[in-house]
Amino acid sequence: MSSLPEVRVSSRFIQHWPKGTSHFRAPPVLGLLIGGCALFGLAIGSFLNVVIYRVPRHKSIVTPRSACPTCGSPIRERDNIPVLSWLVLRGRCHSCHSPISARYPLVELGTAGLFAATAARIGFNWDLPAFLVVAASLLALACIDLELLVLPKAIVYPALALVAGFLLLAAAVTGEWHNLISGAIFAVGWFLVFFALNALSPRYLGFGDVRLALVLGLALGWLGWKFVVLGFFSANLIGAIVGLVLIGTKRMRPDQQIAYGVFLALGTMFAVLVGPVIVTHFHTN
Ligand SMILES: [Zn+2]
């Protein structure tokens, strides 16, 4: 990793910094932002665990309170601390001692890591909330798609509304309307391409992916067309490599459905987080 994203972060960061403030004060504040987002990510990850389990099963995410899937005893407040509780209880239920999946702490740690990386990449900017929503919703959708091969619209549509709302706010405050227009164009463009592919072959590209394209196009389009191209191609490259490896090792049949949403999520987050290094590299060469 080069220092390129940092350069972009600091220059945009300083732009909105009160006049007369020393630039040397920026890094500690950025560190606080990254740490704060990591802690926030732990809490959001805990919520995503509920979303990942309940939404595709059409259960309420509010009630009832979380309970052990084996014995049904409610999770106590003190056993609901992200990651720590799982470690303290050594991955077992406090009352029946049946094992609790490592997926729970992993989703919490994953969200914290993604939030920290997104904060480091975007910095102290108005579009940060939108990209935290992108990271959180893609993590939840990837987990669900991997397990059940669906991308619930009960997650995709609220994510789209939140990302659009936060980017609208960012555009209104910073005057970066061209970013929002670019996002809207790529949201519609990507949606139409996937809509056509779905019409041609609904078996290989589900309508969940078509809906998700709206979120991906909006977020990556906001950053610029190069990020859209990078996100789309890395998603398909990762998907093709993984697919070929799984078929080659006979862990998947060639006609079997692939969790394409997982690769769309991976490609998009790759473009958001690592994109500036690659895009700037192409620009200067
Ligand atoms: Zn139990």
Per-residue pLDDT, 26: 60
Per-residue pLDDT, 75: 86
Q: Say whether both 133 and 118 belong to one domain.
A: no
Q: Could you report the per-residue pLDDT of 205-264, keeping only the tens digit for each?
A: 899 999 999 999 999 999 999 999 999 999 999 999 999 999 999 888 888 888 999 999
Ion ligand 1: protein residues whose beta carbon lies under 5 Å: 68, 70-71, 93, 96
Confirm whether 285 is domain-assigned: yes
**Where does the pLDDT of residue 283 fall: very low under 50, low under 70, confident under 90, or very high at 90 and above?**
low
Q: Residue 90's domain spans which residues?
A: 26-122
Portion of the chain with pLDDT greater than 70, in percent: 89
Instruction: For 122, list phi and psi in degrees, rounded to 5.
Output: -85, -35
Q: Could you report the per-residue pLDDT of 167-201, keeping only the tens digit for each?
A: 999 999 999 999 999 999 999 999 999 999 999 98
Domain count, the chain: 2
Q: Could you report the per-residue pLDDT of 60-90, keeping only the tens digit for each?
A: 988 888 888 888 888 888 888 999 999 999 9
Ligand 1 center–CA 55 separation, angstroms: 22
Q: Say whether both 110 and 133 belong to one domain.
A: no
Q: Which DSSP letter does residue 62 get?
A: S
Ligand 1 center–CA 107 separation, angstroms: 20
Ligand 1 center–CA 67 separation, angstroms: 8
Q: Say whether both 98 and 84 belong to one domain.
A: yes
End-to-end Cα distance, the chain: 17
Ligand 1 center–CA 100 separation, angstroms: 9
Confirm whether 3 is domain-assigned: no
Q: Could you report the per-residue pLDDT of 126-145, keeping only the tens digit for each?
A: 999 999 999 999 999 999 99
Is the distance from CB of 139 to CB of 215 less than 8 angstroms?
no
* Chosen domain end from 122, 151, 184: 122
207-240: b (≥16 Cβ within 10 Å) or e: ebbbbbbbbbbbbbbbbbebbbebbbebbeebbe
Q: Say whether both 133 and 173 belong to one domain.
A: yes
Q: Say whether both 68 and 137 belong to one domain.
A: no
Q: Say whether both 181 and 269 belong to one domain.
A: yes
Confirm whether 200 is domain-assigned: yes
What residues have CB less than 8 Å from 81, skipping those under 6 apart? none
Instruction: For 83, list phi and psi in degrees, rounded to 5.
Output: 60, -55
* Chosen domain end from 68, 91, 122: 122
pTM over 0.85: yes
Per-residue pLDDT, 13: 42
Q: Which DSSP letter does residue 79 get?
A: G
Ligand 1 center–CA 132 separation, angstroms: 33
Ligand 1 center–CA 80 separation, angstroms: 14
Per-residue pLDDT, 284: 55
Ligand 1 center–CA 94 separation, angstroms: 7
**Cα separations in angstroms, 157 against 25, 213, 245:** 39, 11, 33
Q: Say whether both 48 and 148 belong to one domain.
A: no
Q: Say whether both 87 and 145 belong to one domain.
A: no
Q: Say whether both 260 and 226 belong to one domain.
A: yes
